[in-house]
Structure 1
Amino acid sequence: MDGKMAEAPKIELFVKASLDAEGVGNCPFCQRIFMILWLKGITFKITTVDMIRDPPTLKALAPGSQPPFLCYNEEVKTDTNKIEEFLEKTLAPPQYPKLCCRYKESDGAGEDIFRTFSAYIKNPTPELNDMREKKLLATLLKLNNYLKTPLPYELDQNPSAHESSRLFLDGDSLTLADCNLLPKLNIVKVVCKEYRDLDIPAELKHLRRYLDNAKKQDEFNFTCPPDSEIIDAYQLVAVYLNPQKGKSYKKH
């Protein structure tokens, strides 16, 4: 253990600060890297970045960059995808766990959800609400069906299996795909409930189970911003619809 600690690199992750600058803010990309580092089981430092004040030291460290960015043994990396690739390559077995998916389909599962969610939640026109809601629900159903379908390794274990019993996208362990998707799904869940009174339908039981399983994992649960932070972050783009009056309005 002592040898491993002595060999461990010096890592500092910079993430978006909350609106009060006291905690972690709403940023699915920041949470994605936060989760990856936690899952790798390595010691690292978290520094929150106040996007309003933007300290001069951070301007000098990563000029023009938006969190997350990573300082790895004094080397600064600022692109989320490249940070992920670097960590997976550098923090590799046997010392650190491999987090990539076994099945390429798991990497793309749910990739269209955030796009349809954004169109839905930013829509100010009540007449378009049902159509955009259906599009969002269709993408959620597609993900639910992927989570429902047994993966090849499950069929190898039980050829007659009709439904998957796995915990996450690619199996019973969190992967890079989960680190990418879960922070976005959490935003969808919180914001849709607040601004549209829309819950993830009960019939999407595999999707709901997936989120419940994630909440039981410290790597996800303790890297999530508070729901109130997510709601506040969407206040400028999301609208409350009032179909009875045929108009939209923002809550203040």
Structure 2
Amino acid sequence: MESINPHVPSVALFVTRSEIDFSHRSPNPICQRWFMVLYLKSEAKELALTVYPVNMKNPEQEFKKAYNSNPPVVVFHETTDKTSQVVLTDNRDIEAEISKRFPVMNMNSLKEAEDVCSNVYIKFHPYLKSSTGDLHEPMKLRTLLTELKRINDYLEETGTKFLSGNEMTFIDCDIMPKLQHIRVAGKYFKNLDIPNEYHALWAYMERCYQTKAFQESCPFDQDILMHYEGKVDSHNKPFGKTPTLQQPTMTLTIPE
């Protein structure tokens, strides 16, 4: 995916590739986070973005030699001479550098929004990995639903379109890929549905679904499922076609 404009700084983003179509639609939520952030900056004409998908099963030698890291890798080109560049792999460094280099569109998030979203993905993992007959599974589910409800209640209270106001910020680009994983993988492996009564959360997800930043970066459902293969109890895997044999789908709608 390329968005080249010779009059603005050039930024390269390396992401883990899709295993469905080998594209830039990475199933790694951290990769999608930076794709969304940089896409929004590109939309605002602050930078020219190029996204490179990396085959992590067999990374190109050029990538391994140049960056010696797993994606996401963000490369800021200082000049048209590509030998002059800044390479970042740490999430805090990437956020700080983006804010410093491209300040026109303020994407800083409210601390309250960051706090309310801080635990939901952390609580998703123990629930997803819980095996059949796990006596703690109901408690893990309640904990996850509590975290989802916290986000719902916060959105209800603020009444804004997104988590830190009426424009997307870093926190939206961080949490929305994780919510998509919770929705898609939770349903497939655990028959989990985000409760319909979380109206504010669903409305928020719908608004994110409607953005080009999410649409362009969103992984296929099957890529998300493959992301968790090997991380869940074998008894939690539904009978039927494995994700690689399914017709590719992308869930971008909300329940009626």
TM range (shorter): 0.7 to 0.9
Match of 2:93 in 1: 82
1:6 CA drift (Å) = 4.1
Match of 2:203 in 1: 209
Deviates more, 1:34-43 or 1:45-54: 34-43
Match of 2:126 in 1: 119
**Which residue of the other structure, out of 218, 224, 227, is the alignment partner of 2:218?**
224
1:20 CA drift (Å) = 4.9
1:109 CA drift (Å) = 2.3
Q: Tell me the distance in 1 between the aligned counterparts of 2:147 and 2:60.
A: 40
Matches within 5 A, 1:231-250: 231-239=225-233, 248-250=235-237
Provide the identity percentage: 29
1:249 CA drift (Å) = 5.0
1:146 CA drift (Å) = 0.8
1:239 CA drift (Å) = 3.3
Residue type of the alignment partner of 2:146: A
Match of 2:152 in 1: 144
Say which SS state the counterpart of residue 117 (structure 2) adopts.
coil
Residue type of the alignment partner of 1:204: Y
Aligned pair count? 223
1:128 CA drift (Å) = 2.6
Residue 109 of structure 1 pairs with residue 116 of structure 2: yes
Match of 2:247 in 1: none
Write out the 4+ residue segments of structure 1 that deviate beyond 4 Å after TM superposition. Answer: none
Residue 174 of structure 1 pairs with residue 168 of structure 2: yes
Name the Cα RMSD after superposition: 1.8
**TM-score (normalised: structure 2):** 0.82
Long gaps (5+) in structure 1? 151-163, 241-247
1:21 CA drift (Å) = 6.5
Residue deviations 1:85-132 (CA, integer Å, cap 9, x gap): 101110112xxx11112x321222211001110000011143332111
Structure with higher Rg: it is 1
Contact 1:215/1:221, CA 8 A, preserved across alignment: yes
Residue 66 of structure 1 pairs with residue 70 of structure 2: yes
**TM-score (normalised: structure 1):** 0.83
Residue deviations 1:117-153 (CA, integer Å, cap 9, x gap): 0000011143332111111101111111111113xxx
Say which SS state the counterpart of residue 228 (structure 1) adopts.
helix
Q: Tell me the distance in 1 between the aligned counterparts of 2:91 and 2:150.
A: 26
